[in-house]
Amino acid sequence: MKIITDLKEMSSLGRSWSSNTQVGFVPTMGYLHEGHLSLVTRSNQQCDITIVSIFVNPAQFGPQEDLSVYPRDLERDLELLRNYKVNYVFFPNEKQMYPDEFKTWVEVDKISSILCGASRVGHFKGVATIIAKLVNIVNPHHMFMGEKDFQQCLVLETMLNDLDFHTRIVRCPIIREQDGLAMSSRNKYLSNEERSSALCLYLSLQMAQEMWSNGITDTNNVEHKMKELIKSMGGRIDYIAFVNSSSLQTVKQIDSSVRLLLAVFIGKTRLIDNCGF
Ligand code: AMP
């Protein structure tokens, strides 16, 4: 496994892939867990070369957010990636990615300003910009992303398509802890008590799926029950949204085209999760 810290080196490697080599890319902010590693496994299965980037992207954090305390452990991450037989790790520094004279931003209209984009203003502008840069540098055929960040998948698919990148996103399923909590680097922030509360996200999604399989399709009805459950377990709801899974438009009735998206504060930690029907 080769570790590349120099942007220019990564960029010239990205220009050197031979036409019969499939290149897979897994962008991450590090502090890796089994969710990230499932993307690596998928890339290894599907591609000849797997590249993982580790970069905590300051542009996607708001001024009141957790950039300075975001968990990092490069040595541990590298050890894990070695075991997973990754070919290259791209680990650039902030100055290379955002030099002082940096002025160009990528914004995906409409779908970036709702849901997580409404609570985290500018978040998807930061995400779209860093991914456009990384894809341009790494030049992969496939980029492996988790459906845990459902809206992010859609924003980035739109960006890649609109800007005529040839890279395609491969969406991968949400990996969960044994009790159902979606794996996230931010779970590290949770105290023991908060860790128990955090299960309200998964339990409320499960309840919604169960209500639907019992014939209840009215979203108001399901949302009301979800709110009760989440509040009773100590969660503070940021949003509960029943949306069309392609357009992210709000819907009133649940059917198989609907995605249920959820953001909940557990103490100061904001967690997200989602499910289909
Ligand atoms: P992050 O390091 O949080 O930016 O995440 C990097 C990638 O890992 C993104 O594509 C995420 O959607 C994905 N990811 C994070 N958590 C999970 C999870 N629990 N299951 C599947 N993918 C995940």
Q: What is the mean pLDDT of residues 14-42?
A: 97
pTM for this one? Answer: 0.98
Q: Which of 36, 123, 141, 142 is catalytic?
A: 36
pLDDT category at 44 given cuts 50, 70, 90 is very high
Within 6 A (CB) of ligand 1 lie: 28-29, 35-36, 38-39, 145-146, 148-149, 172, 174-175, 182-185
Q: Put residue 30 in one of left, alpha, beta given phi > 0 → left and psi -120 to 50 → alpha.
A: left
Residue of 36, 38, 127 to test ligand 1 pocket, by largest number of atoms within 8 Å of CB: 36
Q: What gap in Å lies between CA 12 and CA 189, rounded to an integer? A: 38
- Residue 85, pLDDT score: 87
- For 210-237, how does the pLDDT look when each residue is reduced to its tens digit (9 = 90+)? 999 999 999 999 999 999 999 999 999 9
Ligand 1 atom 12 nearest Cα? 146
Ligand 1 atom 13 nearest Cα? 146
Examine the residue annotation and report whether 36 is marked as an active-site residue of this protein.
Answer: yes
